[in-house]
Structures are given as C-alpha cells and as structure tokens.
C-alpha cells in the first residue's frame, strides 16, 4: 500500500465533502466563470466579465507553469 496514494485519496474525499457542504449554502449573488480548452482554442464562460477575465488569467498561468516544468 502506497502512503502517497492513501493520503491523496483521503484528501480528495475531504475536499469533495467540503465542496458538497458548500453547495448546500443558499446564494443570492453568485458569480461563476471558467475556461475549457478544446485543443488550442479556449472557450470561456461565466455570468460576470470580471470573473471570466480572472478565469482566463488563471488558465494562462497554469499553462505557463506546465510549459516551464516541461523543460
């Protein structure tokens, strides 16, 4: 039994339970946004332009980090 896999599994279950409990909180003003990468084409979605800009920035940052780590 690999301790890293056990710890990763417990951590994922914990975060899943936290997200589930947060989803039960009623929200009146809830903003969402995200980015889906389909090949080289990014598709941004959301109900607020500010949140969409933040999501695109985070996606570009994660892309840059993955390219730096690749070299």
Digit-coded pLDDT (tens) for 33-54: 888 888 778 888 888 888 888 8
Q: What are the CA-CA distances from residue 13 to residues 1, 4, 8, 20 (Å)? A: 18, 14, 9, 10
Cα distance between residue 57 and residue 71, in whole Å: 22
The CA-based angle 23-28-30, given to 5 degrees, is 65
Share of residues in the chain with pLDDT > 70 (%) = 100
Q: How far is CA 52 from CA 23, 38, 39, 43, in A?
A: 21, 17, 19, 10
Q: Under DSSP, is residue 46 helix (H, G, I), strand (E, B) or coil? A: strand
Locate the domains of the chain by residue range.
3-70
What pTM value is reported for the model? 0.56
pLDDT at position 38, please?
84
Q: Is the pLDDT of residue 6 over 80?
A: yes
Is the per-residue pLDDT at 57 higher than 80?
yes
């Amino acid at each position: 039994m690999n301790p890293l896999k056990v710890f990763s599994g417990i951590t994922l279950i914990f975060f899943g339970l936290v997200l589930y409990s947060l989803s039960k909180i009623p929200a009146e003003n809830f903003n969402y946004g995200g980015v889906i990468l389909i090949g080289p084409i990014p598709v941004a979605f959301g109900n607020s332009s500010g949140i969409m800009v933040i999501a695109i920035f985070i996606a570009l940052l994660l892309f840059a980090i993955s390219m730096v780590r690749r070299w």
